[in-house]
A and B are shown apart, each in its own frame.
Chain A
């Protein structure tokens, strides 16, 4: 312990830098490297128990802990927001165990850990986006046996997935999958983009940032290198369409962002606001004003006004 303490790597509470022990980090790092070398392929890894329950982002936390360095600036979002429980607790976890600087500004971050959204602002080549993934296997609800889905990926046997999308069309008249919408990576592996809204799928294609996916309970890591071809599955006569909104953001008037519906009273009142809180705040700081900004409570409108 004393030898480590002199090198400044022991964080609060006596934990190693970024909580995980060094052998665990090496194991995760090796999995990340193979994931980058085989885009869209799910690399098994020896996921550890973390001091938070499965389903709270243990896969993303382990990936972040393995790549994090002392000079990184970390941003954590949950459904686009920096200030919800999951994001706040993971951010505090890394503040406590690594001492790295944290930020809510997308442009300032070098690592962004996310639960189910991709920031609205375009990411850069200096950034890494880490996804928390609950079910990494896109074929899991079609074929429950891991031994079979492994073979299906090996044989590039993705007919079942197209049948599932076709059944959507037969039942609903259109592809009704709106989140965890399957993608094909570099014309090879079908991949689950994690339960991001399909609105975000186009941002994965040719993204300048490295994208890493960690599934803690399911013990899988996969990756998209920068500028990788990512195509949402569809049919010639039913092409993929990202979600569109009929509303503008009630706070910043944006019409190009993913919106959350917020119920404002018990008489049917509601408003639509950006899911990406940082992007919305920046737009308001630039002077964009939504229809309800004046009357929105400070807790929603934030400190930007």
Chain B
């Protein structure tokens, strides 16, 4: 089996992907384009794969959800391109890759950090179907740092009770996980600081 390539240009590909993630976290709800990649093995999406390669390495244990863990090509590809250990315990993960966010496990099962070191928490990378308004299953209203007034985000593929889960996560502040939503060609973020409610329709 030949391994699929990662960034065509490892230095600038990683930098551009990181800047997209940084801008997404700094401005929750905005869509930041990610390109420059990547032949990732299914069911790992190219954008989620780009984020993983840009940020993960031997210092960051990775956790994979069931569809990703069931694909041996994914673990081999991530091991080669990041050097990360794939671990079974989500509470030890620096990054969690989730191909099926509708089956997202309890957020409290991931590393939440401590009151003294709240940064020692999992960053979840969720592969979502898209951010189009007409196909969205969740229409979210966002408030918090990084947002002037409020923002809205339409997402397809999140669990039906995502707002309650994010509220419980936000209530842990400064502890808590941070979510990166990897769409088909862009990334959005929901850091622990963001207050999320459903848009009234």
Q: What does the 1/0 interface line of A179-202 toward B look like (CB < 8 Å)?
A: 000000010110000000000000
Which A residues are in CB contact (< 8 Å) with B116?
150-151, 153-154
Which B residues are in CB contact (< 8 Å) with A225?
25-27, 145-146, 193
Q: Does A34 contact B (CB under 8 A)?
A: yes
Cβ–Cβ contact A9 & B25, under 8 A: no
Q: What does the 1/0 interface line of A14-33 toward B look like (CB < 8 Å)?
A: 00110000110111011111
Cβ–Cβ contact B54 & A26, under 8 A: yes
Cβ–Cβ contact A16 & B11, under 8 A: yes
Cβ–Cβ contact B22 & A33, under 8 A: yes
Cβ–Cβ contact A36 & B191, under 8 A: yes
Which residue among B9, B119, B148, B173 has the maximum number of chain A CB atoms within 10 Å of its CB?
Answer: B119
Q: Chain A contact residues (Cβ within 8 angstroms of B): what range?
A: 35 or more
Q: Does B159 contact A (CB under 8 A)?
A: no
Nearest-Cβ distance from residue A81 to partner chain B, whole angstroms: 28
Q: What does the 1/0 interface line of A111-124 toward B look like (CB < 8 Å)?
A: 00000000000000
Cα separation A27 to B54 with both chains bound (whole Å): 10
Which B residues are in CB contact (< 8 Å) with A290?
none
Q: Does A4 contact B (CB under 8 A)?
A: yes
Cβ–Cβ contact B146 & A69, under 8 A: no
Which residue among A7, A31, A224 has the maximum number of chain B CB atoms within 10 Å of its CB?
Answer: A7
Contact segment of A37-45, A238-246, A280-288, A294-302: A37-45
* SS of B interface (majority): loop
Cβ–Cβ contact A41 & B174, under 8 A: yes
With contacts A26-B54, A188-B174, A227-B147 known, is A32 near B9, CB below 8 A? no
Nearest-Cβ distance from residue B107 to partner chain A, whole angstroms: 14
* SS of A interface (majority): mixed
Which residue among A23, A38, A225 has the maximum number of chain B CB atoms within 10 Å of its CB?
Answer: A38
Which B residues are in CB contact (< 8 Å) with A66?
18
Cβ–Cβ contact A29 & B55, under 8 A: yes
Which A residues are in CB contact (< 8 Å) with B14?
22, 25-26
With contacts A38-B119, A41-B118, A41-B174 known, is A26 near B12, CB below 8 A? no
With contacts A67-B19, A227-B145 known, is A38 near B192, CB below 8 A? yes
Cβ–Cβ contact A37 & B22, under 8 A: no
Cα separation A192 to B116 with both chains bound (whole Å): 18
A17 contacts which of B12, B147, B178 (Cβ < 8 Å)? B12
Q: Does A107 contact B (CB under 8 A)?
A: no
Cα separation A210 to B191 with both chains bound (whole Å): 15
Cβ–Cβ contact B174 & A227, under 8 A: no
Q: Does B115 contact A (CB under 8 A)?
A: yes
Q: Does B10 contact A (CB under 8 A)?
A: yes
* A-binding residues in B (CB < 8 A): 8-12, 14-16, 18-19, 21-23, 25-27, 54-57, 59-60, 94, 114-119, 121, 123, 145-148, 173-174, 178, 191-193
A-B contact pairs, 25 of them (CB 8 A): A7-B9, A9-B11, A17-B12, A26-B57, A27-B57, A31-B119, A33-B22, A33-B123, A34-B119, A34-B121, A36-B191, A37-B178, A41-B119, A67-B15, A69-B12, A69-B15, A150-B116, A153-B116, A206-B148, A210-B26, A225-B146, A226-B26, A226-B148, A227-B145, A227-B147
Q: List 12 other contacts, CB 8 Å, given A9-B12, A32-B22, A66-B18.
A: A23-B57, A25-B15, A29-B54, A33-B123, A34-B121, A36-B22, A36-B146, A44-B119, A69-B19, A70-B12, A153-B116, A228-B146
